[in-house]
Amino acid sequence: MCTAKAMAETYEANRAACKYVHSTSRGHEAIQLATAFQLLPCDYISPYYRDESILLGLGFTPYQLMLQLLAKRDDIFTGGREYYSHPNYRGDDKPTIIHQSSATGMQAIPTTGIAQGIQYLEQVQSDRLIKGPNGEMPVVICSLGDASVTEGEVSEAFQFAVLKKLPVIYLVQDNGWGISASADEVRVMDAYDYAGGFPGLDRVRIDGSNFEESFDTMHRVVQYVRQQRTPYLVQAKVPLLGHHTSGVRKEFYRTQQDLEKHAVNDPGPGLRQRLLQYGIDEQQLLYIEKEAGEAVSSQFQQAVQAPEPNPATIAEHVFAPTPVTEEKGQRQPAGNEKIIMVDAALFAIREIMEEFPEAMLYGQDVGRRLGGVFREAATLAEKFSDARVFNTAIQEAYIIGSTVGMSAVGVKPIVEVQFADYIYPGFNQLVTEISKSCYLSCGKFPVQTVIRVPIGAYGGGGPYHSGSIETTLLSIKGIKVVYPSNAADMKGLMKAAFLDPNPVVMLEHKGLYWSKVPGTEEAKTIEPSRDYVLPLGKATLVLQAENGKIASGESCCIVTYGMGVYWARSAAKNFPGQIDIIDLRTLFPLDENFIFERVKKHGKCLVLTEEQQNNSFAEALAQRISHACFQWLDASVEVLGALNVPAVPMNMMLEQTMLPNGEKVSVIIKHLLNS
């Protein structure tokens, strides 16, 4: 406690040096230290941005924390990339700490995902499950501020933890403030009362400024969860003695009366008084205070002098290296029959789950009864059990965000969002937690997950089951996006996506699943071999123009993907021998070299997409092609997408009016060839 107090005072006295935004644990020290002292290296904990005392209690030094405070090169957590008290750690000597964002409450889902993964490892008796030195079962602690409990994603985490009886403890530190909003302004109940609405979530309310009460309670709760393997919520009432952050100072919004009221419950003087009552010599306490202050001062000066990060490293750790770098296996083995795309996905996942016992599949309606609304998971639960293939509630945020925790314990989740239009509730998790984890943990916590998303318009699906989302996804850095157009690519890319240690979103056009749309028969292909993999980021030519036509300037290149491949094929029949069709297959990473090479041969290019055209990925790609191929172009790069209306209409005539088709593509090709 003396160390934490000295650190806060040092930062305040050196505001010019401590120029990056930070919070301190002042007022929260007792419950934080009491929590840290219960944990073993087999455990997991997700501290939030005010939890420096937890980190001190786990054994991190002030110097290590200060390196992050000052964004220095040797910051062991993030190498100067992340705010103070935003740790991540993987080692044999301390509990594991996954990376988490600053977004309040968002850590509840990834951390609950850790407990979900641990439970699965227990169920299958996996050797990946790490226990304590005396066989203790691991527990997971998720630390939250009380104001964050109003977030809907915290509710999703509570729901899942109670439903599945997960070994997770939600530690809620309630200081009565959410930045400048007091508790009575913004919520009708505290975390303890809220937890009462989740039957099966045990709960306790304590004085978090009292170290003895905090220690005894956390010891009891941690031991209970180690043995009973069920969730628990601890609400600890604490004072807020510091600023919300260094940039939002307490005097901006709090009265002197409020500050004095909180100061009465400062855990440091409270513990000091109890120690004196127990007969501890005051000189010993004075020595501790002096020693802590001197150590903090010395370590702060060392941290100030520590080197800054090397700018040359800024692009490191965006992704972890993938083992799949070349196409392997047989794409068209003799004797195999043609299969449709939906079966290619099903067969790929079945083979993955046969080979990798750590693979799981979950999402809405993918379980035993239905096997997916497109039957894309049919029979998998029967074959692999409800422990490995199961339904979730309608919780896109949980489905996506839980994969962070699952991946951290060595489970490899494949999850499904039922339609592309419904991925948006999961965007918080995809953007704030998943995409940044590898980069901000300096490679310690890449998130290995495959997120399956049926996409696209056909057959009157209507405005909420037909949308295209690739441009939105591609604006997120740190994820990969795949979009196969035929069964062989589906199987090969699914295998590569699973083996990739990074998050991969598989966009699967539901209009191509069964080749029911006229003109998509070629989406059916011979089923590739079991060991077939197709690396991400490799485009292919599905139709090649004649060399003579290219040489005479009578050719054109179409760059497309998904359903666009079949609109392009339809149009190309009107221009025999004159058309190259490039199927991108992967939208990120993008095979730019191949695209540019082919465009330069033709001098004319059309980028074709199903998305609404304005401000789309296709338009951005057209600009990049124009920039890279400018001196070889005979005409401006054309783009064709859907009409710029907010949604796909239900009526099938209106739907077709909105979308591109072979005739519309033909008009643009004719214009290009005549330019």
Residue numbers annotated as active site? 465
Alpha carbon distance 437, 397 (integer Å): 16
| Residues near 458 by beta carbon (within 8 Å), at least 6 away in sequence | 466, 510, 511, 516, 517, 563, 655
Alpha carbon distance 23, 38 (integer Å): 24
Alpha carbon distance 675, 670 (integer Å): 9
Using alpha carbons, select from 17, 23, 91, 82 the residue that is nearest to residue 54: 23
Task: Report yes or no: 319 and 85 within 8 Å, Cβ to Cβ.
Answer: no
SS3 49: coil
DSSP-assigned beta bridge partners for residue 168: 140
Place of tokens 């439903």: 163
DSSP-assigned beta bridge partners for residue 642: 612
For the beta carbon of residue 302, count every other beta carbon within 10 angstroms.
13
Strand 181-182 and strand 177-178: the pairing is antiparallel
Alpha carbon distance 205, 189 (integer Å): 13
DSSP 603-653: S-EEEEEEEESTT-HHHHHHHHHHHHHGGG-SSPPEEEEE-S-SS--SSHH
Angle, CA of 339, 341 and 346, to the nearest 5°: 90
Structure tokens given for 542? 């599905």
Task: Report yes or no: 458 and 610 within 8 Å, Cβ to Cβ.
Answer: no
Length reported for the chain = 675
Specify the amino acid at residue 484.
Answer: P
Structure tokens given for 366? 């993918």
Alpha carbon distance 444, 144 (integer Å): 23
Task: Report yes or no: 167 and 226 within 8 Å, Cβ to Cβ.
Answer: yes
Residue 275, classified by CB atoms within 10 Å of its CB into exposed (0-12), middle (13-18) or buried (19+), is middle
Structure tokens given for 610? 């199903």
Task: Report yes or no: 238 and 174 within 8 Å, Cβ to Cβ.
Answer: yes
Task: Report yes or no: 557 and 343 within 8 Å, Cβ to Cβ.
Answer: no
Task: Report yes or no: 538 and 322 within 8 Å, Cβ to Cβ.
Answer: no
DSSP 329-359: S-SS-TTPPEE-HHHHHHHHHHHHHHH-TTE
DSSP 303-333: HHHSPPPPGGGTTTTSSPPPS--S-BS-SS-
Angle, CA of 442, 443 and 445, to the nearest 5°: 110
Q: Strands, E, within 101-223: which ranges?
A: 140-145, 168-174, 177-178, 181-182, 202-207
Specify the amino acid at residue 155.
Answer: S
Alpha carbon distance 388, 116 (integer Å): 11
DSSP 484-521: --SHHHHHHHHHHHHHSSSEEEEEEETTTSS--STT-G
